[in-house]
Structure 1
Amino acid sequence: MRGGSMKKILLVEDDEAIRNSVVDLFEVSNFNVKAVDNGRKALKLLSSFAPDVIVTDIMMPEMDGVELLSEVKQNLKWKDIPVIMLTAKVLVADRLNALSQGADGYICKPFKIEELLYTIINVTKLRESVAIKTAAGQIKVINGTNHLSFLETLNEKIASHPDKQPNLDEMAATFQMSPSGFQKKLKRLTGSSFSEYVNTQKLERARDLIQNGQYSMKEIAAMTGYRSASYFSTAFKSYFGKSPTYFIKK
């Protein structure tokens, strides 16, 4: 990283190959990095190592990433450390769970190292821009952002017109943001573009409607904004890895 002191990163990843690869790339990028393979070891290390950012996998033995996140955010000494989650879990519900616990970023595997590096740079810049040093030398956040409220409001707006494709410019305007700023914020929080995020919301609603058992596939396709049942079925299988009929309750 350019300028300032070397950033300290705590990496928590149980996959040895991924852990070693990311450590090597962090060191090349001039980060001071410590790495452990589960959340319990990370908590122990935090007593002697004060990172600028924690990067953690979610699925790990002994203590997973969400449990680690919860412990960090409930600790007065550590709660302002940005936490970036790495995971192969792609459902929006999983992302919302992590964000509701206080995660500052969410990156899906497989990922490009540039994506992780830029996310680290962005969250540290954001933290520095919204914090001041008090007389006692402690960090005080003075202008935080309610990420969960942003996503909940967005979900409500998408759900209010389930049979239509929301317009990016109009949606950004309702948040009093530029389209590019809106896209960047959504990408940072969820790892998805606006169109990708809308599609996941619609497909997850479609799954709920299928499990409800009251509608035909053609009706569900129309209710979620798909122009045909066949196109809906293709999109559904691409997202869930299973056909819509798999979710019909027997």
Structure 2
Amino acid sequence: MKIQKQKIVLIEDDVALGNSILELLVLHNFEAKWFEESTQALAYLSQNTPDLIISDLMMPKINGGELFLNIRKNKKFSTVPYIIITANVDDEIKLNQLELGVNDYIIKPFKVKELIFKVNNVLELRKNIEKNFGIDPFSKVTIKLSEKDFLTSLNELLLKAIKTRPDLDELSKSLFISKSTLDKRIRKLTNKNVSQYIREFKIQYAMKLIHLGERNIQFLVDETGFGSFSYFSTSFKAYCQMSPRDYIKSVQAV
């Protein structure tokens, strides 16, 4: 049986570098498409969804940061990792891109192994997330209202909307109960109010991602829908008795 190659889109306006990266990706058994302009890439992406996007930062017309924001407007790209490569070493620019949700950053000039390791890491993380949580974990679920199945059904709904702030009205409606009943039932089964339960569910999800290999804290913030770095860090520390950074270090040390 033929193994399907993982698909990568590369956007790089430097012809020599673009050719080199393309050859490197093909050599490591990826199916790669290279575009010299962001507009060409956008036209391709309107019809195709790759497994990973690698983009130069400084480009004419649409730069790599603007391209990232443009692409992420489309929900089908919400789980597609995005790596930026650039010669710009300004920390403020780098941190700004990471804050927006870019998954990783590679500074030119870079070593061949660095690029391949980072590509493999983000693709492996995405595969593990899909394997453990499913692309659409709610797709085959039938809601049941018994006490036994209530938390399972609730968790599946929360997982489906993990990147957003849950709408309690919609959540209650999906479970065919009132908002007050939702809170009462959660308190009865867990001794937690609905807000605490949802917050800790998101923290537990972040912990699972860390154990799967994720090390970018801003990525964890975005994936769990906390809205702010500080709120995530405070909530994480309250639950785990250590900061996200220290928790990551403890996992790496094992």
TM-score w.r.t. the length of structure 1 is 0.57
1:181 Cα deviation (Å)? 2.9
Letter matched to residue 49 of structure 1: N
Which position in structure 2 is the counterpart of 1:22?
21
Does 2:218 correspond to 1:148? Answer: yes
Which position in structure 1 is the counterpart of 2:66?
67
Distance 2:244 2:7 in 1: 37
Distance 1:133 1:80 in 2: 9
Alignment of 1:131-146 (within 5 A): 131=130, 132-134=134-136, 136=139, 143=205
Q: Deviations over 1:211-236 (max 9, x none)?
A: xxxxxxxxxxxxxxxxxxxxxxxxxx
Structure 2: gaps spanning 5 or more residues: 141-158, 163-204, 210-215, 222-228, 234-241
CA contact (8 A) 1:99 1:147 kept: no
Letter matched to residue 18 of structure 1: L
Structure 1 pair 150–34 and aligned structure 2 pair: CA distance change class (3 A): closer
1:173 Cα deviation (Å)? 9.0
CA contact (8 A) 2:217 2:244 kept: no
Which position in structure 2 is the counterpart of 1:175?
246
Give 3-state SS (helix, strand or coil) of 2:42's partner: helix
Distance 2:246 2:95 in 1: 19
1:58 Cα deviation (Å)? 0.3
1:141 Cα deviation (Å)? 8.4
CA contact (8 A) 2:49 2:76 kept: no
1:147 Cα deviation (Å)? 2.5
Higher helix proportion, which one?
2
Distance 2:9 2:15 in 1: 15
The number of residues matched between the two structures is 163
Distance 1:34 1:149 in 2: 25
Structure 1 pair 180–34 and aligned structure 2 pair: CA distance change class (3 A): same
Letter matched to residue 133 of structure 1: I
CA contact (8 A) 1:7 1:32 kept: yes
Question: Over the residues paired in the alignment, what is the CA RMSD in angstroms?
Answer: 3.3
Q: Which moved more, 1:12-21 or 1:39-48?
A: 39-48
CA contact (8 A) 1:51 1:81 kept: yes
1:36 Cα deviation (Å)? 0.5
TM-score w.r.t. the length of structure 2 is 0.56
1:48 Cα deviation (Å)? 2.5
1:38 Cα deviation (Å)? 2.2
1:179 Cα deviation (Å)? 6.3
Distance 2:117 2:245 in 1: 27
Structure 1 pair 18–45 and aligned structure 2 pair: CA distance change class (3 A): same
1:119 Cα deviation (Å)? 0.6
Letter matched to residue 176 of structure 1: Y
Structure 1: gaps spanning 5 or more residues: 157-170, 183-250
Distance 1:34 1:51 in 2: 9
CA contact (8 A) 1:73 1:102 kept: no
Q: Percent identity?
A: 33
CA contact (8 A) 1:96 1:148 kept: no
